[in-house]
A = this chain, B = another copy of it.
Amino acid sequence: MDGLRVNADRLWDSLMELARIGGTPKGGVCRLTLTETDRQGRDTFIHWARDAGLAVRVDGIGNIFARREGADAAAAPVVIGSHLDSQPSGGKFDGAYGVMAGLEVVRTLNDARVTTRVPLEVAAWTNEEGSRYVPTMMGSGVFSGVYALDYALAQQDSDGISVRTALEAIGYAGDAKPHAVGAYFEAHIEQGPVLEATGTTIGVVQGALGQRWFDVVITGQDSHAGPTPMETRRDALLAASRLVLEVNRIATTSPDYARGTVGSMQVKPNSRNVVPGEARMTVDFRNAKDPTLIAMVDELKRRAAAIATECRVTIDLREVVYFAPSEFAPELVASVRSAAGALGYSHRDIVSGAAHDAVYLSRVAPTAMVFVPCKGGISHNEIESAKPEDVAAGCNVLLQAVLARAGT
User: Which of A's residues lie within 8 Å of B, judged by CB?
Assistant: 190-194, 197, 209, 211, 213, 223-232, 235, 237-238, 240-242, 244-245, 248, 251-252, 257-267, 270-276, 282, 284, 286, 352-355, 377-380
Contact = CB atoms under 8 A, between A and B. Distances in A.
Contact of A263 (B260, B271, B354): B271
A237 B227 contact: no
7 contacts: A193-B228, A209-B226, A229-B257, A245-B245, A261-B275, A264-B270, A272-B282
Q: Which of A224, A231, A248 has the most CB of B within 10 A?
A: A224
Contacts of A197: 232
Contacts of A191: 224, 226-227
Nearest to A248: B238
A227 B284 contact: no
A263 B225 contact: yes
Given A230-B248, A248-B230, A225 B264 contact: no
B224 A354 contact: yes
Given A224-B354, A232-B377, A261-B272, 19 more contacts: A194-B229, A197-B232, A211-B226, A223-B377, A223-B378, A225-B286, A225-B353, A226-B353, A228-B377, A230-B248, A230-B258, A238-B245, A238-B262, A241-B241, A261-B275, A263-B273, A264-B270, A265-B265, A265-B267
A193 B228 CA distance: 7
Q: Which of A238, A259, A273, A352 has the most CB of B within 10 A?
A: A273
Contact of A227 (B240, B258, B263, B354): B354
B353 A224 contact: yes
Nearest to A374: B227
A224 B192 contact: yes
Given A225-B286, A237-B265, A238-B248, A260 B354 contact: no
B284 A225 contact: yes
B272 A264 contact: yes
B263 A274 contact: yes
A237 to B, nearest CB: 6
B272 A213 contact: yes
A235 B260 CA distance: 11
A192 to B, nearest CB: 3
A359 to B, nearest CB: 11
Closest CB pairs A-B (n = 4): A192-B227, A226-B353, A227-B353, A241-B241
Contact of A224 (B228, B238, B242, B379): B379
A226 B378 CA distance: 12
Contact of A260 (B230, B244, B252, B380): B230
A276 B247 CA distance: 14
Contacts of A252: 230-231
Given A193-B232, A227-B191, A352-B227, A276 B259 contact: no
A378 B274 CA distance: 12
A129 to B, nearest CB: 12
Given A245-B238, A379-B224, A229 B263 contact: no
A192 B228 contact: yes
A5 B251 CA distance: 66
A242 B265 CA distance: 14
A191 B226 CA distance: 9
Contact of A226 (B241, B271, B352): B352
Nearest to A194: B229
A349 to B, nearest CB: 14
